[in-house]
Homo-oligomer: A and B are copies of this chain.
C-alpha cells in the first residue's frame, strides 16, 4: 500500500501551476521558473520530480477521457451528446485548453491531441457510421468542428463565439456532428 508522502502536495502544486501556465501561455512562454514561482518552490524541484520540461508537460497534460456510456442511447441524439460532452470536458479544467495551445507548436502535444480524439471518437464512430472504412475520415471531420469551436471560443476568444450560450453552441453544432457521423457519404 502506498502511503501519502510529504512530497505529494508539492507535486500537485507543481502540476496545477503547470497546467495554468501551459493553458495561458503555450509551451515556450510557460517557463519552468514561472511555474515554480506559482507553486511556491524552487525550479530545481521541477527537474527532480519530472526530469525535464517535456516530462512536466507530459504529466500535466494527462487526461482521463471520462467517456460517457454511449451504446444505449438512441443514435439520433449522439451528436448533441457528443458536443455537450466535449464542451463539458473543455470547461471543467484548462487541461484541454493547454493542450490545444501547445499542440500547435509541439510534437508531443500534437501526438497526444491526436491520441485523445482517436480514443474518444474512434469507438463511437465505428459504432454508428454506415461503412467501417469511412470511420477515420468521419472522426476527423467531427474533430475539425470540435477543435475549431474550442479554438474560437476558448483560445482566440472571438467575441461572437464567446457570447453564444452553451445551448446555442450545442444547437448549432449537434446537427453538423450528427451528419458527419451518420449521413451517407456525399
Residues of A within 8 A of B (CB): 25-26, 28-29, 100-101, 103-105, 110, 113-114, 117, 136-137, 139-141, 143-149, 151-153, 155-161, 163-164, 168, 171-173, 175-176, 179-180, 186
**Which residue of chain B has its CB nearest to the CB of A161?**
B140
> Which of B100, B153, B158, B176 sits near A145, CB closer than 8 Å?
B176
A26 to B29, CA, bound (A): 12
Residue contact A151 to B152, C-beta cutoff 8 Å:
no
- Chain A to chain B: the 6 pairs with minimum beta-carbon distance, closest first: A148-B148, A26-B105, A140-B160, A28-B28, A144-B148, A136-B160
> Which of B104, B114, B137, B141 sits near A100, CB closer than 8 Å?
B104
A139 to B172, CA, bound (A): 12
Residue contact B104 to A155, C-beta cutoff 8 Å:
yes
Residue contact B148 to A113, C-beta cutoff 8 Å:
no
CB distance from A167 to the nearest CB of B (A): 10
Query: Chain B residues near A176 (CB, 8 Å)?
Result: 145, 176, 179
Residue contact A114 to B156, C-beta cutoff 8 Å:
yes
Query: Chain B residues near A155 (CB, 8 Å)?
Result: 104
Query: Chain B residues near A26 (CB, 8 Å)?
Result: 28, 104-105
A140 to B148, CA, bound (A): 10
Residue contact A145 to B145, C-beta cutoff 8 Å:
yes
A160 to B142, CA, bound (A): 11
A141 to B163, CA, bound (A): 12
A101 to B104, CA, bound (A): 6
